[in-house]
Structure formats: C-alpha cells, structure tokens
Structure 1
Amino acid sequence: MYYIFVLPLFIISLWLYSKWVSMKNYWKKLGVPSEPVHPLFGSMSFLQKKNPGTWFIELYQKYRPSPYVGIWIFWRRGLVINDPDLSRKILVKDADTFRNRMLASGKSDPMGALNLFTVDDPLWTSLRRRLTSVFTGSKLRGWQELYQAKVDDLIYRINSDNEKGIVSELKSLFADYATDIIGESSFGIQCQSTRNSTGPLRMMTKEFEKYNQWRGMAWSSIFFLPEMVDILRFSFWPKNTVTYFRKIFKVMVEERGGFEKDIDGKRDLLDALLKMKIDAQKENQEMDIDILISNAMIFLQGGYDTSSSALTYAVYELAYNREYQKILYDELVEAEKALNGKRFDAESLAKLPYLDAVIKETMRKYPIMGWLDRKALRDYQVNEKLTIPANTVVYINAIGMHWDPKYFPNPEEFRPDRFLPENANNIVPYSYLPFGEGPRMCIGKRIGMNTVRYALAAVVLNFEIFPLAKLPQPNDIPIETKGLLYHPAIPLSVEFKRRK
C-alpha cells in the first residue's frame, strides 16, 4: 500500500527535476546568457513583487551589452531582445513570422480574447484592416471642436479645484479628460467627467484602474501564462464592467439604427464596428457581437489609460524641471500669437518642436508598456549564432533600450532636448519604441498624441506648475507592482498656480 503513493510521487519528482535541469541548461548550450531558473516559475518569480517594466530595465542592465537574454516564461522558452537592429528585424522585416502575440485570454473570457490587442491571425488582420479607417488625418481634424471643448473643461476643473482648496490627483484628473475624449470621439456619447469626474464611461475606467491581488494574478496569467485563464476563470476586465458595457453598447447601437441600417463606417469607432457586423451579415458570415464589444472596450482602456499616464508623468516632471517648463511656455505663447486669435488645432500643435520633445521624452522615460511580445510561428534564425524553434516567445525590451546610456546619455534625467529636430540624427532607429513598430504597432498613436498635445499645451499656457512638499522626486516614484502597466504606485499631485 505504501508503494502505491510513494512510487507516483517519486516519478513526478524525478520528472520535475529532469525538466528543471533541462531548462537550466537550454540557453547555456546555445551560448545565450540567461536568467536563473526557478523550477516552477522559470524567470517569472518577480511577478506581483515588481513591475515588469522595472524587471526588464534590470534585466537589460544586468546583461548589457548582450543583444539578447534567454528566459523561461514559466515552462515556455523566451528570448528578450536588447538590440535595435534585431528589434527592427523582428517587428518589421520578418513581421510575418511574428504576427501573433504571447498574451491571450481564454474561451471563458470572450471580451478579453476577441480584441485587436489580444487576438491572433487571421481575425487580427481582418480587424486591423477594418478599424484603421477610424484614425485617418481627416477624421482627427474633424474632432477639433471636441478637443477644444474638453481642454476648456480641463482648465475650468483645475481652477475650480484650486478655488475649493482641492489638490488634484494627476492620474485621476487626466483620466477624466481622456475618458471624455474617447467616449465622444469613438462612441458619440456626451461626457462630462472632465468637469465632475462622473458619467457611465468614467465609472468603468475607474474600475479598470483597480488592481487587487486577484486581478493582478489574472493579468499575470493573461500576459505570461494564458493556459491558466480558463482554469481559474480569469478575465481581462472586471466582470461587472463587462456586464455594464454590454448594456451601454446595446443602447448605443439602437441609437444608431441597429444592425439593419446601412452605414459607411467613417464617422467614428462605433460606426466602424457596426459596419463590420453589417458587412458580415451581407456576406452570410457570422460575426459575434462580443467581437464588437471587446474592441470597443479595448479602445476605451487603451485610449484613456495611455494618455492619462503620459500627461501625469509629463506634468510631474515639468513641476520639478522648471527651466523646461519655461521653454515650453515661451514656445506656446509665440505660437499662439502667430495664430492671430485662432485657437490651436491638431496641425499647429504638431508643428511645435519643444511640445513634441517633452511628450517624446516622457514616453521614453515612462513607456506605459515597456515591452513588445511576439511568438515565432516557425523556426527563426535570429542571427548567425542563434536559431530559435517555433513557438519561442520573443520580447522586445523597449524600456531597457530607453534607459540605455548608449542611446540616451544619463537616461535617468528628463531631457526633452534629446528629441529636438537638431538632435534627431542622434536617435538610433528602433532604440525608441513607445508605440511599437511594424504591422502590430499601436493603432491609436495619432489620437493618443493629439489627446496629450491639446491637454499639455492648455495646462502649461494657463498655469505655472510647482512640486508639492512630501511627494517623491520623479526618479523616486514607486511603480505599481500588482498591475503590469508602468503606472505610479502612489497618487501624484502638483500645485497649479494660475498665470496672470
């Protein structure tokens, strides 16, 4: 009877040990520097203790100047790319080999599994082609009045908070503003959260921001161990927000005339999603409504989160770097005078070199997601020394390169002049990847840049920005550990003093 229990345990232990030894020696045999391997977690034992962005920076610095580092994503092979030339090769030149991502949600979570961010080919190609029309230059120019109205609301909100003695928490303030931009431009919903931090979509985005232990584990699984998603019934978004958004989406569709009304898909994101469904019906194809809702939710999450984070870090850095704040203010004043009474539009803002440099430097130092994951569809020759087998996960270590003094001297310093036109030739191609590159680069880059430009210009024109006592210096900001995005772990605030 004793042997019935001991023998299987011995066999399992022996198998685990041999598996661990194999993992330990795998990259060493290939001549690739590699991280120590935990028998269960591989190289991932940092999860929920350290932000992945922080980990990727440390990994890069530990193994510099190696162009790559071998890791194990639990029991799956992974290769971290620390080299701009190899990054270009994987993201652009050989993109067909790396069309799919590692991260995925399961069958139990269709909302998380069916959007442009997580889905694989062939559905990804179809979605990307149909949704690209939402972000054309002409479309963004049509949102001019929306941006102007929302930055007016933003200035009103800061003034109102000042009069009431309220110290605005930056991430929340800019999340209110960015949620309004996405809600009205993408869905045609009238939003007022910039003024009062309320509204149906802002209720959802506030839920998106909450990362407890369970949701942190859910995101860790989706990004690094998708097999566990269905087993533990994890979800990309809080389940109450999915239920709530289903109701909102149904109302929005009914207001547009449902799926029976013919539509050109050119008005906004909602129109483009409706047209996808209508076209599928005409071609006698099935298109689950969950695909539409999932993509609507990912645009809301991606649009508000990245813009509000960039604005938070930019304003916080300007409070501590007042010489840069002065240069930016002077540029904005001169540009405003040249408009002869007209208001800034997307085109005039895009031509301001120092505004552009401040935003780019913010995204260098604080990329919201500092790595790009891809999965090799076939055996792939990385260089003359290394070939990786199919299904190896490849991570482009963007944040590591952003913090490499070889490409960005004194990377811990906030220095917008790095990105001024006269210094453009100093930026090594593919060492700077805040939006990714290649076919799977961020589809919302244009709207994101516009959202940040309008808000940052309005804030700096209307207010002097000062640091507050007892808050950390920029380089001492603790970074979120439960969530995976590069968010501050504490509320950040500044003093806004109205300019005369």
Structure 2
Amino acid sequence: MIGNYVICAAIACFSFVWLWSYRKYNYWKDRGIPYDKPYFFFGNIGFIMRRSVWDYCFELRKRHPTDYVGIFLGWKPTLMVQTPELARQILKKDFEYFQDRSVNSNPTDHLGCLNLFTGNNPLWKNVRNEITPMFTPLRLKAITELMNFNAKELVVRVKQEYINNKNTVNLKQLFSMYVSDTVAYSVFGIRVSVLNNQNSPLWYITKHMVKWTFWRGFKFISIFVLPAVAVVLRVQFFSEEAANYLKMLFWNVVEERKKTENVHYKDLVSQLLSLREKLELPVGTDSKLVDEILVAQAAAFIFGSVETSSSALSYCLHELAYHPEEQAKLYNEIEMAVKESGEDILDYNKLLELKYMTICINETLRKYPPLGYLDRVCLKEYKLNDHVTIEKGNPVFVNVLAIHYNEKYYPEPMEWRPERFSSYSETDNFDYTFIPFGEGPRICIGKRYGMMQMRAALSQLILKYKVEPAVPYPVTTDPNSYLLAPKNISVKFIER
C-alpha cells in the first residue's frame, strides 16, 4: 500500500514538472518568435561538455539564419540577436537597459563575481574608470619593450625545443608561456621568463588555465550559462588553490612596495592600490571586501590575457602556415620595417605601422573570435522592435559568429582573407560587423594591450622562421573550454 502511494506521488511530481516545463518551453512559441527546439531540463544546453559553446553558436546561426532566435538556458528563456543593427542596440544605443552581464558565480566567490568582467554596475564602472589609465599609449609604449624581450625568448625557445630537439610544438601552451611572462610584469612588476625555464610565480597559476579539464569546463559553463546552478553548487571561478596563491602573491607584492615608498610603479597592482581609496561602496562595507575586489581585478586580467591572446596567436600562425603567399607578404613587411629602422627588434611605433600584420590578426579574430557570443541581461522591460519585447531579468546574447560569418558582410566567410580588413583603423568596428572585443561601454579594456602583445610575438617569429602545416586544416575546438580553444594545434618551424 505504501509502495503504491510512493509510486503515485512520484508520477504526480514528474507530471507536474513535465507540465511546468512544457509551459516554460512554449515561451518563445507563444510570442511568435523563432526558437531552437529545447529538451527537457537542459533546454538548449544539453550539448555541454560534448561540444563547445563556440560550436553551438556557430551551428545556431546556420539552423536559424534569422535576425533573432529564442533559446533556453535550462528553463531560462534567452534571446539571441544575430545582426549588427541589433548588436548596436543592445551593446551601445540602449545600453541603459543592458548594463550588466548575465554571468554569476556564487556570492562567496569574490574573485569570480567582483571582477571587471563579471561585476555589475556601479562596481564595474568605478573599477573601469580607475584601471583605464593602465592602457594608455604611453603605458603601452613602455610595456612593449618587455613584450619584445619576451618575444626574443620565444624565438630562442622555438629554436631549442622545436628545431634542435625536434619536439612537436603545442602552440597554445607555448603562447600561454609567452603571455604569462608579459602579464607577470604588467600585473605585479615581476620580470621573469618561464620561456627561459625560470621559476615563474605567475606560471604556477596560468599553466592550469591552459588545460581545460571536464570539471573545470563544467564550472565555467555553469558560471556563464547556468548561473543559478553555479550559485547552488557554490562553484568558484578559480580553483581554491589558485585563488589562495594569487591572493598571497598580490599581498606579498604590496608588502614589498611599502618598503620602497619613493619608487613609482606603473603596473596593475599600483593602479589597484590607488583605486582602494576611491572605490565607492555602500556605507559599512567590510574593508576585507574592498581588498577582495582589488585581487579580483588582477585575477580577471590574468585569465583574460592568457586565454584570449594565446588562442588568437595559435590560430593566426596556423592560418599563415596554410597560406604561404600571405605569410610571404607578412614576412616582407616585417623585413622591410627592420631594415628601415636599423634595429632587429621593432619598437611600439614601428609595430603599429605593420598594417598587413594588423589585418592578419583582425581576420584571425574575425574567423576565430574568443567568445561565440556576448552576454547581457535586461534590467527593465525593453521593446526590441514592434514584434519583440524583452522582459526584465531575461538574458540577451549577441551571436558574434552569426555576424562574423554573415556572407552579406564577409563573402565566403569560411576563407581566411586578411585583405577584408585593408581599410581598417584601430577604432573601426565595421559598423558592428566586427566585434571580437565586444563593443560599447563594456568593450574589452585590454584590446590594445592584447593586439600589441600579438604584434610583438608575430614580428619576431615570422622574421626568424617560416611556418608550415603540422595538423589538418580544420582545427577541432576543445569541448571542455568556455572560451574558444583549439584541442590540438601545431605548426612546423623552419629557420629562414
């Protein structure tokens, strides 16, 4: 008898959940909006850990070549917009409705939820205003000297490991080491070279970022796509070990600075310490929370720099290996610049003048943007057009891949053609058809930093080495990674 009651109760519960889900999954249908077919419980994210988020966005624009399409993050209705015009509305024109991102880790994970990337207004605005001076042309000019030094170490590493020893190069790891050396100085003022086998405190943290395991991938997917799950499971942006080590490193650097009060540092730690006095927070906020906010900015900068630049450099070298004519053209540009300058290393201004290099990088970012979509959350009811009204609290995504691969703007979009950007200027987003760094008030603050980092590496590598293919042309994306990351990408380096 008890068993029958249990069975009946279970059936009743399942029926209730199924009917509730059915009603939820009719959200877009009831509004006459095209949508991707959802599946029970998962909605449209049943692919996670089997395919990458990047691949899902890529395939979605083929299944639904419409201006916008409804999807479900679990049970949460989310609108994916897929045109430059709508991207402009969400990211800039009507920004007051979409100031915050939809991402969220658990509230106790301060490194994960209080940084510039994930933080909400007014925190992100206050922090951004104070950190922006880190990326002025004057500051970048100074740090380009270190980027060039690290690029020299990169050239030496290639010679020793991959030419002399004939080892297979893991481009993603190699460039992560290069970026890590530069970021160590940019954030902490630490001059160290993991490329030269020196013990780098930052590489201790960043080497884990290169490896996307199943569990690490799941944590990031939940933070960015299923924030409610992230809160329930108390998921952290960084591992506890990495977070504790980063905090220790940050405050050790601060303590050392107190001993040299008359020295003026120009790194991120210095900038954040000045922010400490200006940060506007509610009255009564614990001072420890302020300190956590400072470390959170350093953590986000490290993660963003290493992941995005290392992948972009990997894909760019891969494309150059498969495009010998374009590679020769780039080599000729670099060689001519070196001869004209009389120096074997190009400074900040000379690197900026490498127009063909810039368009090679831009075409790589067009074809391989680090994020498949840009996320925002609607803060108050918003009328997108005469047919669509977005309710408060619903996420709105901009499908970057639907725009970057639209044949209307980029004929034969699967082809890698740098000449598409021959008329490009640094501030040009091609009328919102080119948004690898995002756009609007929340555009990536480190855009120019990342671009210069790539210029420095490519200028010296291509000058010294010719690259040829080492893996099949279509590169599989890592399904465990939230950001675009190649599963296996390599080239053959040949001395010129």
Quote the residue 2:79 is aligned against. Answer: 79
Identify the range of structure 1 (245-254 vs 344-353) with the bigger mean alpha-carbon deviation.
344-353
Work out whether residues 222 and 229 of structure 1, in 8 Å CA contact, stay in contact via their aligned partners in 2: yes
Residue identity matched to 2:364: T
Distance in 1, Cα, partners of 2:278 & 2:122: 17
Aligned match of 1:291: 293
In the superposition, relative to structure 1, how do residues 114 and 438 fare at CA in structure 2: closer, same or farther (>3 Å)? same
SS in 2 for 1:165: coil
Code of the residue aligned with 2:202 in structure 1: it is L
What is the CA distance between 1:63 and its match in structure 2?
1.0
| Number of the residue aligned with 2:6 | 5
Which residue number corresponds to residue 144 of structure 1? 144
TM-score by length of 2: 0.93
Alpha-carbon distance in structure 2 between the residues aligned to 1:152 and 1:422? 28
What is the deviation of 1:446? 0.9
Deviations, residues 92-145 of structure 1 (Å, cap 9, x unaligned): 001111011111111232221111111111211111111111111111112232
Structure 1 contact 174–308 (Cα < 8 Å) conserved:
yes
| Residue in 2 that maps onto 1:489 | 487
Q: Deviations over 1:344-370 (max 9, x none)?
A: 122221222210110001111111112
- Alignment correspondent of 2:327: 325
Q: What is the CA–CA distance in structure 1 between the aligned matches of 2:409 and 2:174, rounded to whole Å?
A: 33
Report the 3-state secondary structure (helix = DSSP H, G, I; strand = E; otherwise coil) of the residue aligned with 2:494. strand
> Aligned equivalents of 1:297 and 1:270: distance in 2?
11
What is residue 207 of structure 2 aligned with on the other side? 206
Query: Once the two structures are superposed, what CA deviation does each residue of 1:448-495 show, in whole Å capped at 9, x if it has no partner?
Result: 000001101111111111123xx211xx211110121111112x2212
- Structure 1's 422 and 238: CA in aligned 2 closer, same or farther, altered over 3 A? closer
Task: Report the CA distance between 1:263 and its aligned residue.
Answer: 9.3
Shift of 1:207: 1.1
Structure 2 CA distance for aligned equivalents of residues 281 and 22 of structure 1: 43
Residue 466 (structure 2) aligned to one of 464, 467, 487? 464
Cα deviation 1:239-268 (Å, max 9, x = unaligned): 21112112211211111118x96998x712
Aligned residue type for 1:247: M
In the TM superposition, what is the alpha-carbon distance from 1:86 to its structure 2 partner?
0.5
Distance 1:321 1:388 in 2: 44
Q: Mapping of 1:429-440 within 5 angstroms?
A: 429-440=431-442
Map residues 67-466 of structure 1 onto 2, 5 A cutoff: 67-161=67-161, 162-196=163-197, 198-257=199-258, 267-279=266-278, 286=287, 287-341=289-343, 343-421=345-423, 428-466=430-468
CA distance in 2, matches of 1:327, 1:40: 52
Shift, 1:279, TM fit: 4.0
Q: Residues 148 and 214 from structure 1, CA distance in 2 versus in 1: closer, same or farther, beyond 3 angstroms?
A: closer
Q: Distance in 1 between matches of 2:410 and 2:418?
A: 11
Sort the Cα spacing of 1:191 and 1:22 in 2 relative to 1 into closer, same or farther, 3 A.
same
Secondary structure of 2:258's counterpart equals: coil
Conservation of the 8 A alpha-carbon contact between 1:186 and 1:268: yes
Native 8 Å contact 1:263 1:275 kept in 2: no
Distance of aligned partners of 1:24 and 1:274 in 2 relative to their CA distance in 1, 3 Å threshold? same
Which residue of structure 2 lines up, in the alignment, with residue 48 of structure 1?
A: 49
CA distance in 2, matches of 1:427, 1:222: 28
Shift in CA distance, 81/365, structure 1 to aligned 2, threshold 3 Å: same
How far apart are residue 313 of structure 1 and its match?
Answer: 0.6
CA contact (8 A) 2:126 2:279 kept: no
Task: Give the count of matched residue pairs.
Answer: 490
Quick one: structure 1 residues 183 and 496, their matched pair in 2 at CA, closer, same or farther if it must change by over 3 Å? same
> What is the deviation of 1:280?
5.3
Counterpart CA distance in 2 for 1:74 and 1:126 is: 33
Change (3 A) 1:418 1:165: same
Bigger mean CA offset, 11-20 vs 349-358: 11-20
Alpha-carbon RMSD across the aligned residues, in angstroms, is: 2.4
Is contact 2:83–2:402 with CA below 8 Å preserved after alignment?
no
Q: Assess if the C-alpha contact under 8 Å between 2:135 and 2:449 holds in 1.
A: yes
Alignment-mate amino acid for residue 317 of structure 1: E
Ranges in structure 1 where 5+ consecutive residues have no aligned partner: none
Q: From the superposition, tell whether residues 261 and 229 of structure 1 become closer, same or farther in structure 2 (CA, over 3 Å).
A: farther
- In the TM superposition, what whole-angstrom CA distance separates every residue of 1:141-200 from its partner, at most 9, and x where no partner exists? 122321221111111111222223333221111111110111112210121112227521
Query: For 1:196-222, what per-residue CA distance to the aligned partner results, in whole angstroms no more than 9, with x for missing partners?
Result: 275211121111222222222211210
Q: State, as a whole percentage, how many aligned pairs show the same letter.
A: 34
Query: Take 1:381 and 1:151, find their aligned partners in 2: how far apart are those partners?
Result: 49
Normalising to structure 1: TM-score of the pair?
Answer: 0.93
**Partner Cα distance (2:149, 2:425) in 1:** 35
Q: Offset of 1:422 from its aligned partner?
A: 8.1
Shift of residue 23 of structure 1?
2.7
Q: Does the 8 Å CA contact 2:43/2:75 hold for their aligned counterparts?
A: yes
